[in-house]
Amino acid sequence: MPQLIVVSPPGSGTALLHQITTALGYTSRGTMSAAAGHTTAVAPGEVYPLLEAAYGRDKAVRLIQAHHQNQADTQLEDAYTTTVEILWRVWWRRLGQPVTAHTPLDPALEDRLARHSDESLLRLLPGRDAWYVTDLDLTRTDGGLLRHWAATGRPAIIYHHRDAGDRIISLVQNLSRGQVGTMPHHLIYQGILATLPTTDAKLTLALTDPDFPATRPATWLHHHPDVITVTHEDLAGPAYGGTTHARNAALTRLTTALGHPQETATALPDAPSGLPGLTVGAFKKHATPHHQQLLASHLSLPGPTHRPIP
């Protein structure tokens, strides 16, 4: 599967899943793009189809011929790099994710690529990428993409979630430390949390504000039989309050669902160490009985359970 969509609400311990998708050969994009740590080489056959889709056959041929005649000519590389950036922007919009209106990229080129079908767009996306998003809202995600996924099951969707209380306390702590990430609305709540003097007050705000990030992730992902579901509690392993058995079972389910041989799971690395925010049960250490009541009253997503992956 050359492309994955990974839905991991903020505070879910995404680093554990990112480590796994990276080990499986996927380059992280979207909210985890800063953690990718490497660039992906262009594969044979990826350049011309994308340039043809963006510029037309004649210009695509001219760019490639000019490069063959003069290897020092950067026109081909520049055109391809720009086109990939625009293609990513178009794809990010299809996923219903926020983009900045102001951009130095060519709007005419963006419009041309945006007119491609979802099937065509998926073929044009280069490399093997895991597109990390914090939500996949049915009211914002492109309707054509949803129809394509419902009909084909492609790209595969992984839903990674965590106990709701642990997820919220983790995000509250991260925002309070200035760890905002890439989502613009996190900046807003970082400013709001900065006005509150105590963790208790911040937790109360997070549990009573329906717009606070991570409080109400899309429940359809939890229920749909074609979504690959994996929990933080399963991936945590003994280093973060989980078990080796649960982690190994989750890795086997995940790799099997993605089409890898069963033995692939045994070769994956152990969970990274030194990340205390990933410990299972963190909410209980900070929550008062009032917070527990708020959690039960305001959140509708079930606790961390997984459905067996076919």
DSSP state of 127: S
Task: Determine the residue type at 215.
Answer: T
Domains and CATH numbers, the chain: 1-40+127-310 (3.40.50.300), 41-123 (no CATH)
Give the closest residue to 227 by CA, choosing from 160, 300, 301, 130.
160
Each residue's pLDDT tens digit, 144-176: 999 999 999 999 999 999 999 999 999 999 999
Each residue's pLDDT tens digit, 94-152: 999 988 888 888 899 999 999 999 999 999 999 899 999 999 999 999 999 999 999 99
Residue 308 confidence (pLDDT) above 80: no
pLDDT at 69: 87
Residue 257 confidence (pLDDT) above 50: yes
3-state secondary structure (DSSP) of residue 288: coil
* Cα–Cα dist 309/131, whole Å: 21
Choice between 35 and 242, residue whose per-residue pLDDT is larger: 242
Cis previous bond, 155, omega within 30: yes
Question: Which single residue is written with the structure tokens 């994955």?
Answer: 4
In the chain, the N- to C-terminal Cα span, in Å, equals 17
